[in-house]
Amino acid sequence: MTMKYLDEYRDPTQVKLLLQKIKESVNQPWVIMEICGGQTHSFLRHGLNALLPPQIELVHGPGCPVCVTPLEQIDKAIAIASRPEVIFTSYGDMLRVPGSSTDLFSVRAKGGDVRVVYSPLEAVQLADAHPDKEVVFFAIGFETTAPANAMAVLLAQRKGIRNFSMITAQVRVPPAMEAILQAASCRVQGFLAAGHVCAVMGFHEYLPLAEKYQVPIVVTGFEPIDLLQGLYATIRQLEAGHAQVENQYQRAVNQQGNTAAQQSIQQAFQPVDRKWRGIGTITKSGWGLRPELAALDAELKFEVQDLLSQESPLCIAGEILQGLKKTVECPAFGKKCTPQNPLGAPMVSSEGACAAYYRYH
């Protein structure tokens, strides 16, 4: 059925039909991971998880860029933002993410010039307008935000804006999926891949993963119909013993992705090993600025690259992000860890699994 308007992807009649198809297709238990925190929030906001057959267990993946940004990156950002000569810019989610002893919101409350922006290009414009200040942008995100972040740093270089720099915390989805699949503790038998990431990168990188680990991967959107169609396709593959990549999100995604955006990423970034909060270092799982753009690297400019931090022992974010535990299994959830007093990023991010359970459950 061809759909044209958003409300059609939330049609209750179609939801019921898909739920019935899923119920009729399931003959054994399956563990399926939705990669993106946006998918997690949609499942819970619409109550879909409660309507699924008991044989299907959804686990929540590491696809929340705020959540996987390691503690030491937050501490580096706080150290830079606290300097009097700095205008520190970031997306709003990052302001409440706890560092070792404080957060960016508290830095602003104490007089630090910390500003929320909606595009990295705003930060470049600020630097151009305030040549007496050092403007720093906190570049977090998966492949979805990478093109805009790349364009910002390339624009600053082209215009010769020397007072702009960037903390780069860009991460990549396929290496994280492979790290999950390689783990001896892995329970995941199928993936719902994030449609917006694939809109940029395509899904060709998932083909060797599906074949190597014999796991079905279905690219989906974020509305109820999208998610249930993706689940249905995944379950049909699992029940039939197939392991292929399918594209449910055809209205936005093709196999090769947005090649112009990929070219911008390649001009600004190179693959690097990246540490993930609560998980550890994953080989070639991030993007770092190319050597010729080192002057725009805020960690080097402000000499915080060697700063290390210790995660809170009470926060089990790493296990949640790998699908090993559910949010409600955390003894601190809703008690010592709340949106007002978070122990970890998943409780404050708009894509965090802990925030979703706290809000909707």
CA distances from 343 to 126, 217, 355, 357 (A): 32, 32, 12, 15
242-267 pLDDT, tens per residue?
A: 999 999 999 999 999 999 999 999 99
- Quickly count: other Cβ atoms within 10 Å of residue 285's Cβ: 25
216-244 pLDDT, tens per residue?
A: 999 999 999 999 999 999 999 999 999 99
Q: Residue 90 in 3-state DSSP?
A: strand
Are the C-beta atoms of residues 344 and 337 closer than 8 Å to each other?
A: yes
DSSP 297: B
Are the C-beta atoms of residues 55 and 76 closer than 8 Å to each other?
A: no
Percentage of the residues of the chain whose pLDDT score is greater than 90: 73
Mean pLDDT within 331-351: 84
* Enclosing H/E stretch for 265: helix 259-268
Q: Which two tokens stand for residue 29?
A: 């238990």
174-192 pLDDT, tens per residue?
A: 999 999 999 998 999 999 9
Looking only at the bridges linking them, the beta strands covering 164-171 and 280-289 are antiparallel
Mean pLDDT within 192-201: 96
CA nearest neighbour of 352 among 324, 325, 320: 320
282-310 pLDDT, tens per residue?
A: 999 999 999 999 999 999 999 998 777 77
Mean pLDDT within 188-207: 97
Looking only at the bridges linking them, the beta strands covering 86-90 and 56-63 are unpaired
Listed range (136-145, 215-224, 314-323) with the worst mean pLDDT:
314-323
Q: In the chain, what are the domains?
A: 68-172+258-301 (3.40.50.11740)
* Enclosing H/E stretch for 129: helix 120-129
The per-residue pLDDT for 3 is 64
The per-residue pLDDT for 265 is 97
Mean pLDDT within 36-65: 92
Are the C-beta atoms of residues 216 and 234 closer than 8 Å to each other?
A: yes
